[in-house]
Structure 1
């Protein structure tokens, strides 16, 4: 992490300044932000930025290989397979923990990956408020590949809206206004014009989908900017008897298609290699249980937000798993508390966010997200009652 920028931030930080920052951040929003925002952004060194880019390039190269879809066919649960899949994900998110290698160098280590969108709108808003409150220099950026804010938003529009009008593309989640990430939905609507709808708002006529506009008229949906994760509706097995069954063949485009949430996921990690990739194996392909199990974690393939992960594996845990084909055994990644808060070190995770519009040969690394933690794992539920933790963004030299 950039020591000079960190020193400047900490020396000029105050509780009053942070309180003003939160007020400004929430001003004009439909509802207050529901998740904790950290007292600081992350300031990357050029060296660590370059390592992140290199790590991401190596992973994307695997996704671009011929036969990737065949390789990941088993990743999609039968009950959540959606018709009319396209040939690539429009979004890729790669989560890296900030760690140290055996030589003491600060390095990224892949934690998880998703073929699913993240906070592509909110991160711009967050960075602008960090910059304003904490006087972050203009030579620092949150974007990659030489993108500016306008260039980034153009790429976001190209990816999500494509050849259609903004009101023909809806951002859809199961209960969109009440999601913790709803702030991102409405900021995105402000940036690119895509209306926010819930699953129950979809109206089917034949194989076409519509939603009601303010006048009560029906508007044809050409594309769905999908923010729905099936894990959130699996507790209601009869849900598609009450709302449109979005799994059926419909005359609508998906951005990104729901199947890519599973194809680019923990399922992909056993197929990756490289210095920034922890050793990962499908549990059912394990030929010998490692003697140093304390250095591994067990992860279920079909869960999200860290649910079901066994961090401290005990004797017998592996044998108790009844569906080993749906689990991975992964080398434990030990986060290094490299970010210096006023009262000690904080652990950091960086998410690289790619955009892949139709017609482009490969995805573009565009923007980032950061999360700070003092708990055992990254995430809100593991960091209650701590400060200098929560959502953030990473700044780096242009």
Structure 2
């Protein structure tokens, strides 16, 4: 999107450089990512960067409202509420489509947001390897707020591990070694020294949790949580029993599971911004719009794009038996702004925040990008094209 950088990058790109980049990713992470990594990063011009930051801060202001927990009390399905919720999430990720305004300028449009971690460790590795293998000038940066690789991981260590012994902190997931995001788990383990642990590896004594570390029964004092509890209750074939994580346990959650629901699609109708498409809870709509072709229908309690109806009809709405669990959102028109040797592509940009205990507001630290040439953005939907997949952004300083 920065024309001079895009042209130079495309001219100097070779498949040999790309393969060396992929090999370096796999070597340092311990294995190759289980998803496609794009041939290119995204170069974000300063004007768009400013709009992205503005959009994020407007969303943060919604979360900072004194009555935010009251406004989102119905966001958490009753069966999925976990005791011990803290004051705010430790992570915040906000996804935007890159679009064109009527005046031709680039602008973000909010797609989704979560109070949940993303690929915080792997994205640093990806950005660093792009710099190593391609011509990324010093005029652009993947970090925010003056951070670099060392200070970034210092913040993550303080947030995730704190004053605990790393052996007493685990990255918790359902079957972590089978997840598509496992490369991030391995990067996290290498950088912070915490092990990815399956919920079936947990043992419980009273309100305390344990796991075996190097053959020793080890107390868990803090959980870096990667479990999506909505998925957890759907698991029927896990090889082994596990503790009931919905009880009041003597453990710190980073971040607490309830925030995954409070900061989610449930929030979209609460965000009033020029960078957010209009959204409504379906059951509150007085009249169904006549121009449904300009809208998408999203289930509140389904994730990773599952269940989204892109080409909405009145019949789709009539069939719904639980309209209170759906939102109708004005359709976002992605712009084909990334020019690649195999055709133009569009992208989403994820802005990644951390929020330390005691801090008045979250801190923007890093980013993630997805590049696509199809109707669906997720990296799982772009395996047949080139110059698509997971990526990261470099923002003009």
TM-score by length of 2: 0.97
Equivalent residue for 1:251?
A: 250
Measured after TM superposition, the shift of residue 192 of structure 1 is 1.5
CA distance in 1, matches of 2:65, 2:35: 37
Tell whether the 8 Å contact from 2:200 to 2:240 is kept in structure 1 after alignment. Answer: no
Equivalent residue for 2:45?
A: 45
Q: How does 1:224-239 map to 2 (within 5 A)?
A: 224-236=223-235
Q: How does 1:124-273 map to 2 (within 5 A)?
A: 124-214=124-214, 216-236=215-235, 242-273=241-272
Unaligned runs of 5+ in 2: none
Measured after TM superposition, the shift of residue 239 of structure 1 is 7.1
Tell whether the 8 Å contact from 1:160 to 1:357 is kept in structure 2 after alignment. Answer: no
Computed over aligned residues only, the root mean square deviation of the Cα atoms, in angstroms, reads 1.5
Q: Secondary structure at the match of 1:87?
A: coil
Describe the superposition over 1:183-206 as per-residue Cα deviations: whole angstroms up to 9, x where unpaired: 101101111122211111111111
User: Are residue 56 (structure 1) and residue 51 (structure 2) matched?
Assistant: no
Q: Secondary structure at the match of 1:220?
A: strand
Describe the superposition over 1:164-198 as per-residue Cα deviations: whole angstroms up to 9, x where unpaired: 22222111101111111111011011111222111
Tell whether the 8 Å contact from 1:356 to 1:364 is kept in structure 2 after alignment. Answer: yes
Unaligned runs of 5+ in 1: none
Task: Work out the number of aligned pairs and report it.
Answer: 397
Tell whether the 8 Å contact from 1:233 to 1:239 is kept in structure 2 after alignment. Answer: no
Q: Secondary structure at the match of 2:120?
A: coil
Equivalent residue for 2:372?
A: 373
CA distance in 1, matches of 2:148, 2:28: 23
CA distance in 2, matches of 1:329, 1:30: 42
Is the alpha carbon distance of 1:394 and 1:162 closer, same or farther for their aligned partners in structure 2, counting shifts above 3 Å? same
Equivalent residue for 1:312?
A: 311
Describe the superposition over 1:270-315 as per-residue Cα deviations: whole angstroms up to 9, x where unpaired: 1110100100000000101111110000000001111000000123
Q: Secondary structure at the match of 2:314?
A: coil
Describe the superposition over 1:84-103 as per-residue Cα deviations: whole angstroms up to 9, x where unpaired: 11110000000000001222
Equivalent residue for 2:277?
A: 278
CA distance in 2, matches of 1:95, 1:380: 14
Tell whether the 8 Å contact from 1:299 to 1:309 is kept in structure 2 after alignment. Answer: yes
Measured after TM superposition, the shift of residue 241 of structure 1 is 9.2
CA distance in 2, matches of 1:317, 1:154: 49
Equivalent residue for 2:65?
A: 65
